[in-house]
Amino acid sequence: MAISINYDMDQGANFAFTIRANDTNGNAIDLSSGYTANAQMRKHYSSNTATTFDTSITGGTGYISVSLGPTATAAIKAGTYFYDVELQFNNGTSIQRLVQGMITVYPEVTRV
């Protein structure tokens, strides 16, 4: 079962967080081979429009980095969105949702 974590995002700034994939005993899962991480956010669960995050897996440590650059966050309207991060393995035959929650995007005031 996925854990729920909410985040705040500043429009027009870098956004990133890191999670760790654990087994049922709380030990890091070795993600060095055969795994892909996918993450998206949407205004509503049923929305056809999504923002896809950049994801990066750090091999045997079980860590997954999720990020968006300032150009990508600047294009997101202020408001509250839903997101999740999924771990796909065995060429898509199995998918596990690791984390889910809401992201509140705060509007950018300074524009240089």
Q: Which among 80, 73, 92 has a CA at the least distance from the CA of 34?
A: 92
CA pair distance 79, 75, nearest whole angstrom:
12
**Mean pLDDT along residues 77-85:** 98
Amino acid letter for position 23: D
**Mean pLDDT along residues 52-65:** 93
- DSSP letter at 22 equals B
What Å distances lie between residue 61 and 20, 23, 28, 39, CA to CA?
8, 12, 6, 19
Q: What CATH number should be reported for the domain whose range is 3-106?
A: 2.60.40.10
Tell me which H or E stretch contains 40: strand 35-42
**Mean pLDDT along residues 27-55:** 94
pLDDT for 16 equals: 98
The reported pTM is: 0.91
**Mean pLDDT along residues 32-39:** 91
